[in-house]
Structure 1
Amino acid sequence: MKTCRFILSSGLMLFAAAGFSQSDSTGLPGDDFSLQGALALFKRSSSVEEFEKLLNTESSNVNNLDLNNDGQTDYVKVIDKFEGGVHAFILQVPVAENENQDIAVIELEKNGNESAHLQIIGDEDIYGEEVIVEPDGDDAGTAMMMPSSGARYDHGPAAWLTRANTIVVNVWTWPVVRFVYSPSYVVWVSPWHWTRRPVWWRPWRPVSWNVWRPRRAVYARHYVVVKQRRVVGARQVYRPMRSTSAIVRTRYSASVGRYRATRTSTTIQGKNGRKVKVTKTKVRRRR
C-alpha cells in the first residue's frame, strides 16, 4: 500500500512539474533564444565572427529558434553598426529570401580609456516587449558603479562609481570588446544570407520547451533583466536599421497579443506634481 502511495505521489509531482514548466512558457519566439546566453557567448568570444559561430553552434544552447517553421533551427547572423564610439551588434535571422527579423541588439559603449558597458535588448516582436539584459557583476568581469550627477568617471578596470546604487559591469576586460575598439578592427557585417550559409553550419531540429528550458536556465545566474537603458546613443544608431518580418508578426500575433494583454498601464502623481505612467505586468516572466 505504501508503495502504491509513493508511486502515486511521485506521479503527481512529475505531472505538476510538467504543468509548471509548460505554463512558464510565454508562447513567444523569445522563449527559444537566450539573451543571457548570448551575452555569455559574447564575453567568451575573441572576435565578432567567433561570436556569430558560437550563436549557431548547437552545443552552445542559446539558439532554438525556428521562425519560418521549417523544422530546423534558424541561422542567426551578426551585423555591427558603429558610430561615434558606440557599437550596435544586430542579431538577425533571414526568415525568407527578402525578409529578415531582428532578434536582439547588443549595445556597447566605451566610456573611458579602460571602461565600457553594454546591454542586450530583445526585440519587441520576438519577446512581446523590449527586454533589457546586462551582466550583474557576479561573474562577468569587474563591476563598477555609474556616477551620480556631477561626479566624474574614474577610468580603469577597477573603477567604482555611484548613481542610485546601480551596479554596472565594466566589460573592458572582455576580449571581444578590446577587439572591436582596436585600431585594426574592420566593422563586421555577416556575409551570410537566405541562400548562402557557412559550410560549417549544421542546422538541428528545435527541441521542446520542457527540454529547452533547463538548457537555457544555466545562463541566468550571472545576467539580470533591468528596466533602464544605459547606452543611450546606440538607440539612434540602431533604430533606423531595425528589420522586422511580416511572416513572424503574422505567425505570432496571437501569442504577442495575449502576452501584452497581461500588462496594464496607469498614470500616477510623481515628484514635483508631474504625472508618471506606470506599466504593470500581471504575470512576471523572468528571462
Structure 2
Amino acid sequence: MIILRIILLLVMSLSLQAQNASQDKLDLPGDNLNLYAVLKIFRESETLEAFERTLNDDSSQVNNLDLDGDNQIDYIRVSDYPDGAIHNITLKVAVSKDEDQDVAVIVVKKLADGKVEIQLIGDEDLYGKNYIVEPNIRDDENTASETPNPGYTRTVQLDDGETVRVETVTTYQISQWPVVQYVFIPTYTVWRSPWYWSHYPAYWRPWKPHYWHYYYGYHFHWQYHYFSHYRRWPQYRVPGWYNRYYGSSFRSRSVVFQNRYRQGAYRNTYSRPQMAVQGSAVFVKRYPKAPSVNTKLPAFDKTGRPVVARPGLRPGTGRPGDPTPGTRPVVTKPGVTRPATRPGLTRPVTRPGVTKPVTRPGVTRPATRPGTRPPVTKPVNRPGIRPVTKPAGTRPVTKPVTRPATRPSTRPANRPIESRPVTRPVV
C-alpha cells in the first residue's frame, strides 16, 4: 500500500512539471489575484497585519480584484481561524454592506516534530476546484518528494521557453519563515482584520483595476521567481480539509458576486491584449536589474491566452487541469517531442494514413489500412479467389464494380484491373 501510494504521488508530481511553469488564464475572477505572488508576499511578511498591508499596496501590483463591480480595487481582509495545530488564514473581500466573499485561504500546519507545511488554496468560486499553490518542498515524509523528481528538483521551463533552476525548501525552513513563527508563538493574539465595508485604513487609497493582460505582462517577468520557488499541487495536505472548510461557518459567499459572475460581468478584463506591453514596461522600469527584463512577451491567441514556446499541459482554460486550446498541439502526449525534432518523419501527429506506402514501397497492401476502414480483405494475396469483402460465388461481378466508384480514395492504383474477377464469368 505504501509503495503504491509513493508511485501514485510520483506520477502526479511528474504530471505537474509543465503546470508549474505556466501563468494560468482560468477565465475566472481569480485571474486577477496571482496566488504565486500572494505566497511570495506571505513568505516575506513578519506579521499577518503586515501581510494584509502589503497585499493591498498599489506598488506591489498583486491585488487586481474588483468583485463588486464599482471600478475600484477591493480591499482584501486577512483573518486567522486557528484549529489546533492548523491555522486557516483567509483572504476575504466585502462585496456589499452585508456580504463577504472568500478569495483564498492559507493553510499552515505544524507537524509533530515542529516542522511546518503550507498550502495556499484558491476559493473554488474564483479559481475552480483544487487550485493549490505551495513551496517546492524537498523533504516530505508523507509523499514521494524525497525521490529525485525532475518535476521540481531540477529545472522548469517558463512561458518563453527559458529554463530556470528549481529552488527547494524543507519543512524545517518553512517553520523559520517570520510570519510562521509569529502565528505559533505562545503570546500570539489571533489576527482578525478590523476593517469592513466602506471602513478601511486611512493609508489605503483604492485605484482602478487593470485589464488582465496588463496584469499578466507585469507578472510575466516574475515567472523566473514564482516557478522556481512554488508549484501547483494536486492534494490537500490536511486530511478532510476540503469538507471542513467548505462546510464551515467562517467561509463566506456573496450572492452579489455569484450574480455578477453568471452575468459575465468579469469578462471585460480580457478585452485589451495590447495592454500586456504596458504591464511589462512597468516591471522593467521598477526592476531594471531583474534577470527577466529582456525577456520578450509571448503572443496571444484569439482567446487572449499566451502562446507559449513549449509543448505540454496547462492548468486551465476554465478550470485547473484543462489543456490550452490553440497553443499546445500535443496535449494527450506532452512528453513526446518527435514531431518537433524530427520533421523528416513520414508519420506526423495527424496520422493521415496515406504516407505509409512511401516508407514501404515493397508492401503490396497499402490500401487495406487507410486509417478509416479496418483490414477486412486480402485482395493481393488471393486475387483469383476472394476479390471482394463478400466472397459469395454467385455474385462476383456486381460487387467489385460499385466499390471503386463509391470509395476511390481507399482503392488506389496498386490493384490492377487484371486482378478483378472478370476473367471468371461463370462459376
TM-score (norm 2): 0.49
Q: Which residue of 2 aligns with 1:7?
A: none
Alignment-derived partner of residue 213 in structure 1: 216
Q: CA deviation at 1:238?
A: 3.2
Q: Cα distance 1:260–1:251, how it changes in 2: closer, same or farther (>3 A)?
A: farther
Alignment of 1:81-230 (within 5 A): 81-137=81-137, 143-147=138-142, 162=146, 169-170=170-171, 171-217=174-220, 218=222, 220-221=226-227, 222-230=229-237
**Cα shift at 1:75:** 0.2
Is residue 92–residue 100 contact of structure 1 (8 Å, CA) maintained in 2?
Answer: yes
Deviation for aligned residue 1:148: 5.9
C-alpha RMSD of matched pairs (Å): 3.1
Kindly indicate whether the alpha-carbon contact (under 8 Å) linking 2:25 and 2:31 is maintained by their aligned counterparts in 1: yes
Q: Deviations over 1:185-240 (max 9, x none)?
A: 01111100003111111111111122110223315322211111112365465330
SS of residue paired to 1:232:
coil
Within 2, Cα distance between the matches of 1:26 and 1:280? 10
- Please give the alpha-carbon distance, in whole angstroms, between the structure 2 residues aligned to 1:46 and 1:175: 5
Distance 1:198 1:120 in 2: 25
Amino acid at match of 1:106: I
Structure number with the higher strand fraction is 1
Residues 146 and 163 in structure 1, CA contact (< 8 A), matched pair in contact too: no
Q: Deviations over 1:54-110 (max 9, x none)?
A: 110111121100011111100000110001110000100000000100000001100
Change (3 A) 1:91 1:67: same
* Cα distance in 2 for residues equivalent to 1:210 and 1:176: 32
> Identity percentage over the alignment?
38
Unaligned stretches of 5+ residues in structure 1: 1-23, 138-142, 150-160, 264-278
Amino acid paired to 1:147: N
Could you say if the C-alpha distance between residues 127 and 148 of structure 1 is closer, same or farther in structure 2, counting changes exceeding 3 Å? closer
Partner amino acid, structure 2, of 1:27: D
Do 2:130 and 2:235's aligned partners in 1 also have CA atoms closer than 8 Å?
no
Decide which moves more: 161-170 or 242-251.
161-170
SS, match of residue 210 in structure 1: helix
Structure-2 residue corresponding to 1:56: 56
Distance in 1 separating the partners of 2:104 and 2:254: 14
SS at match of 1:243: coil
Evaluate the alpha carbon distance shift between residue 164 and residue 101 of structure 1 in structure 2; reply closer, same or farther with a 3 A threshold: farther
Q: Judge conservation of contact 1:88–1:237 (CA < 8 Å) in 2.
A: no
Asked if the contact 1:48/1:188 (under 8 Å) is kept, the reply is: yes
From 252, 255, 273, the equivalent of 2:261 is 252
**Partner amino acid, structure 1, of 2:129:** E
User: Is the alpha carbon distance of 1:49 and 1:261 closer, same or farther for their aligned partners in structure 2, counting shifts above 3 Å?
Assistant: closer
Matched AA of 2:234: K
Stretches of structure 2 that go unaligned for 5 or more consecutive residues are: 1-23, 153-167, 267-314, 328-427
Structure number with greater Rg is 2
What's the CA shift for 1:36?
Answer: 0.7
Structure 1 counterpart of 2:294: none
SS in 1 for 2:49: helix
Instruction: Give the C-alpha shift of residue 254 in structure 1.
Output: 5.9
1:257-272 residue pairs with structure 2 within 5 A?
none
| CA displacement, residues 138-169 of structure 1 (integer Å, 9 cap, x when unaligned) | xxxxx4223369xxxxxxxxxxx748969874
8 A Cα contact 2:316 2:323, kept in partner: no
Q: Does 1:43 align with 2:43?
A: yes
Q: How many residues align?
A: 231
Task: Indicate if the aligned counterparts of 2:102 and 2:253 stay in contact, CA closer than 8 A.
Answer: yes
Give, in angstroms, the shift of residue 135 of structure 1: 1.1
- Structure showing greater relative contact order (alpha-carbon pairs closer than 8 Å, 6 or more residues apart): 1
TM-score, normalising length: structure 1: 0.71
> How do 1:69-84 and structure 2 match up within 5 A?
69-84=69-84
In structure 2, what is the Cα distance between the partners aligned to 1:230 and 1:144? 14
Report 1:237-248 matches (<5 A). 238-239=245-246, 240=248, 241-248=250-257
Partner Cα distance (1:261, 1:45) in 2: 32
